[in-house]
Structure formats: C-alpha cells, structure tokens
C-alpha cells in the first residue's frame, strides 16, 4: 500500500513570496489533515477535510493560508504572502474516516522563509 505522498520535500522562499504544497493521501482515505510543525514543537493541526469539505480550520491563519481538496482526493496548501514565522515542516496525514483513528503521515515539506 502506497503511503501519503507530499511534494516538494524542501522549499526555500523569501518573505512575502507565495508557496504551495501538494499532498496525495492513501487511496480510499476520506479524511485529510494538514499540520504545521515548528522546530522544537509538536505538530499543530491547520485544517481537516472530510472528502472535499472542511471539518475544522479553526487554527488556519486565513489571511495568508488557504487549502483545498478538490474531488476529495489530492489537496493543496498555499501560503500567500509568507512570513518568517511560517518556517516549519508542513505535514499531511490521512485516515480512513474522521474520528480518533490512526493517522498516516507523509514525509512533510520543510519550508524555510528568508
């Protein structure tokens, strides 16, 4: 079974630029999560999708972050414009359905904003 795929693996941008991250969840997983992990901290949930609908985006900085999951499969997370404090690893995870079930994580995208 293929795991959660993410790209790119690394990205370096200057502040005020925009960036996009892509995630392909495990086939058949209806629930998709994006997490932000700042160095020295645990992952923090940004947004949760159930199929192509948003379940929770309460911690997503909506003035600069956006995410979509068209067709309920792949998802894209965008930052525009980026700030220095957005430097972090962005993790995508998926699970079969919403609920307290195992989440399968991708390798993450390490973003550095200079």
Partner 1 sequence: AQSVSQHNHHVILSEAASLELGCNYSYGGTVNLFWYVQYPGQHLQLLLKYFSGDPLVKGIKGFEAEFIKSKFSFNLRKPSVQWSDTAEYFCAVSDSWGKLQFGAGTQVVVTP
* CB 18 to partner 1: min, Å: 26
Q: Which is nearer to partner 1, 60 or 82 (CB)?
A: 60
Contact 7, 108 (CB under 8 A): no
Q: What distance, in Å, lies between the first and last C-alpha atoms of the chain?
A: 37
Question: Is residue 81 reached through a cis peptide bond, with omega within 30 degrees of 0 on the bond before it?
Answer: yes
Is position 34 an interface residue for partner 1 (rule: CB under 8 A)?
no
* CB 81 to partner 1: min, Å: 27
* CB 82 to partner 1: min, Å: 23
Q: Which is nearer to partner 1, 85 or 97 (CB)?
A: 97
Residue 26 DSSP code: -
Is position 109 an interface residue for partner 1 (rule: CB under 8 A)?
no
Q: How crowded is residue 24: how many other Cβ atoms within 10 Å of its Cβ?
A: 18
Question: Is residue 66 reached through a cis peptide bond, with omega within 30 degrees of 0 on the bond before it?
Answer: no
Could you list the residues that contact partner 1 (CB under 8 A)? 3-4, 31, 33, 35, 40-45, 48, 55-56, 91, 93, 95, 98-108
């Amino acid at each position: 079974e293929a795991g959660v795929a993410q790209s790119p693996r690394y990205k370096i941008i200057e502040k005020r630029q925009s960036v996009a991250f892509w995630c392909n969840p495990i086939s058949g997983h209806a629930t998709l999560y994006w997490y932000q992990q700042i160095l020295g901290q645990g992952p923090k949930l940004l947004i949760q999708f159930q199929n192509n609908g948003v379940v929770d985006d309460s911690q997503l900085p909506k003035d600069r972050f956006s995410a979509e999951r068209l067709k309920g499969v792949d998802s894209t997370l965008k930052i525009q414009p980026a700030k220095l404090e957005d430097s972090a690893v962005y993790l995508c995870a998926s699970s079969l359905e919403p609920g307290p079930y195992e989440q399968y994580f991708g390798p993450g995208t390490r973003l550095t904003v200079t």
